[in-house]
Amino acid sequence: MNELPEGFPRYSPVGDSALLLEFGERVSPALNARVHALDRWLKADLFPGITACVPGYASLLVLYDLLKVNGGQVRTWLEERWRSCPFEDSQQSGKIVIPVRYGGEDGPDLDFVARYHDISPEEVVRRHTTPTYVVAMMGFTPGFPYLLGLDPALATPRLDDPRTLVPAGSVGIAGEQTGIYPLDSPGGWQLIGRISEKIFDLERDPPFLLSPGDEVMFVAAEGSTVQ
Amino acid sequence: MSLLVTQAALALTVQDSGRSGYQRFGLPESGPMDWWAHWAANLLVGNAPGAACLELGFSDAVLRVESEMLFAVCGAGYRLRLNGRELPLWMAFRAREADEMRLEKTPGGNWVYLAAAGDLLTPAWFGSQSVYPRGGMGRPITAGDRVPTARKEGIGWQLAGQSLPKAFHPPCQAENVIRVVPGPHEDRFTPASVEAFYRSPFTVSTRSDRMGYRLRGPVMVHHGGADLVSQGMVIGEIQVPGDGQPIVMMPDHPTTGGYTCIATVIRADLPLVAQSEPGVSEIRFAPVEVSAAQEIYRNALAGIDSGIQPKEDLWHQL
């Protein structure tokens, strides 16, 4: 796997009960793959007192119970796990295929995205359903997946005037990112489609359809306005 | 058994110590704004320290007691009256059926916690009763709501009157000094800005809530821009967006963010931030080492545990 940028990995305390491990300062699939490989490796043999690991695009935040361990112990453990981590052989979790209804009322910005790139709406759908995406991290609202892997030819700026209500399940594009809104919320992403499945459902076990590090593919759903 | 809310404060939710381990899915920890007062209120009534309480903030509330229970109210910025008679905060008291508990907002803080001996029978999500409306986990309490309660078996009525003296409260002063661990991105600010951060007073903006407190003060200048590749965040992190005005992350904060963090408030001093009054309080920051911060926190907890005093004779006359 590629070497890390100069000066990384970098360990920094974040307050009195967390340690941040930074892998670099850019969005990069290779760096993000390392984040998830280490995250899996940590979870495989969790140190007592660790309360949460939070993957970022190029970082892993490790929270601990300061009544059980101290920052020095956590750092020593992290450094050891870093050295022993099988980055090359790390297994991705399963691939999740998500049907999307593209265009029409479900994807009110699909035509804009097509015109913006001077391609047909069908071509937008073809390009959006081709890659395998990785859930780089989650955040913004509960269950919101930031997906890496968008075809750069689909990169589209955010709306100038964000919507006050984006329906749950909407699939959007913002810059070089694509993602799915888990809940009804305000938002400025270009909406190209919508999924039927709930990616966050408190009534379901497990409530989250996706986890950081998962691989995701989109397919055009039956009955999609644009196939 | 229950408590009837006849007038709701602007902010009124059930909060236990919060949920941990789900930040990776975008769920914040939630939990109390002022963990110190929350912890003390529970201990005063004989509960486990992380048990669910009512968290009230920013305006008056009135509750009717529908069954006899042992209560305690801890925090700052409120006056407590039981059937019109003023009672001190930070003290366990017995209230009887049909008693009226009135919490009147006063200067000096924002939040109080009402603990009842036993359990609040409210729903839990991901192992926690903390309400987090943005995630569909409950809603704020409004007038007319009943909070069901279960009295603890063999409740210790003798606890009524025990109190936590002022020496063991968070040190709320007009000019709070908030201790922080520098970084992780202190090097992204100009040396003059870092100096100003530790030298100048900040005020809390009225645009502050359970997600974050916005501060007003000297403009922090970045080099290399305010943005970074989004990464995980913790409670107390002080993010500085492009406008140079810091935001302190509070319990319902977004779990990931893309702004540089100049410093992080230590756990022991989060209550001081929470109780700083928008537009009124001035706060200053002082750096400490991680190991010192951890010791301060342990000492604070030990202080609450050991500081509880048995009831005073005065109480017998009530």
| A186 touching B (Cβ < 8 Å) | no
d(CA B186, CA A83): 27
B153 and B184 Cβ atoms separated by less than 8 Å? no
Tokens of A143: 């269950």
pLDDT in tens, B228-264: 889 999 999 999 999 999 999 999 999 998 899 999 9
pLDDT at B152: 76
Angle at B148 between CA B154 and CA B112, to 5 degrees: 90
Please list every residue in chain B whose beta carbon sits closer than 8 Å to the beta carbon of residue A52: 20-24
Residues of chain A contacting residue B302, judged by C-beta atoms under 8 Å apart: none
Residues of B with a Cβ under 8 Å from any A Cβ are: 20-27, 125-126, 134-137, 180-181, 183-184, 228-234, 236-237, 254-257, 261, 264-267, 290-291, 293-294, 297-298, 301
For A11, the closest chain B residue by CA position comes to: B184
CA-based nearest residue to A218, from A126, A93, A97: A97
Contacts of A55 (CB under 8 A, 6+ apart): A35, A36, A39, A136, A137, A212, A213, B24, B232
- ipTM > 0.90 (yes/no): yes
Strands A190-195 and A95-102: antiparallel
Chain A residue numbers with beta carbons less than 8 Å from the beta carbon of B262 are none
- B296 Cα distance to chain centroid: 18
**Do residue A54 and residue B137 have CB atoms under 8 angstroms apart?**
no
Predicted local confidence at residue A140, as pLDDT: 82
CB distance from A71 to chain B under 8 Å? yes
Distance CA(A136)–CA(A146), nearest Å, equals 6
pLDDT at B76: 96
**Per-residue pLDDT band at A205 (split at 50, 70, 90):** confident
| A17 to B267: CB separation less than 8 angstroms, yes or no | yes
Q: Radius of gyration over alpha carbons of chain B, in Å?
A: 20
Residue B109 identity: G
> Which of B238, B8, B234 lies closest to B103 in space, CA to CA?
B8
**Residue A213 binned pLDDT confidence (cut-offs 50, 70, 90):** very high
pLDDT attached to residue B49: 95
* Nearest-angstrom CA–CA distance, A107 and A172: 8
What is the model's pLDDT at position B317? 45
Reported confidence tier of residue A31, pLDDT bands at 50, 70, 90: very high
Of A20, A51, A55, the CB nearest to B184: A20
- The CA distance from B272 to B252, in Å, is 17
Task: Quote the mean pLDDT of chain A.
Answer: 93
**Interchain CB contact of A4 with B (< 8 Å):** no
The answer to whether the Cβ–Cβ distance between A70 and B21 falls below 8 Å is no
CA distance B226 to B224: 7
Cα atoms found within 13 Å of the Cα of residue A146, Cβ hemisphere only: 29
**Contact criterion met (CB < 8 Å) for A20 and B230:** no
A112/B contact by beta carbon, under 8 A = no
Cβ proximity of A133 and A148 under 8 Å: yes
Domain boundaries, chain B: 2-163+311-315, 175-287
Has residue B126 got a pLDDT over 70?
yes
CATH of region B175-287, choose from 2.40.100.10, 3.40.50.300, 1.20.810.10, 3.40.640.10? 2.40.100.10
Owner of token pair 């305000």 = A186
Report chain A's C-alpha Rg in angstroms: 19
Please report the pLDDT score of residue B137 as a whole number.
96
Segment A201-219 mean pLDDT: 93
pLDDT at residue B128 tops 70: yes
Taking the CA of residue A63 as centre, how many other CA atoms within 13 Å lie in the half-sphere pointing to its CB?
A: 21
Torsion sign over Cα B50, B52, B57, B59:
negative
Q: What is the pLDDT of residues B147-176, one digit of tens each?
A: 999 987 777 888 999 999 999 998 765 568
Residues of B in contact with A137 (CB under 8 A): 230, 232, 256
Determine the average pLDDT of the residues in B275-298. 95
Instruction: Write out chain A residues lying below 8 Å of B26, CB-based.
Output: 138-144, 182
For residues B147 and B145, what is the distance between their CA atoms, to the nearest angstrom? Answer: 7
A1: pLDDT strictly greater than 80: no
Q: How far is A226 from chain B (nearest CA, A)?
A: 31
A27 at B interface, C-beta within 8 A: yes
The answer to whether A78 faces chain B, any CB pair under 8 Å, is: no
Residues 6+ apart with CB under 8 A from B193: B218, B219, B220, B221, B222, B244
Provide, as residue numbers in chain A, all residues whose Cβ is less than 8 Å from the Cβ of B20.
51-52, 63
Per-residue b or e along B265-274, where b marks 16 or more CB atoms closer than 10 Å to that residue's CB: bbbbbbbbbb
Residue matched to tokens 């007062």: B37
Interface test with A, best of B17, B19, B27, B211 (most A CBs within 10 A): B27
Say if strands A215-220 and A95-102 run parallel, antiparallel, or are unpaired: parallel
> Where residue B62 falls among pLDDT bands split at 50, 70, 90?
very high
Number of H helices, E strands in chain A: 4, 13
Chain A residue with the nearest C-alpha to that of B233: A61
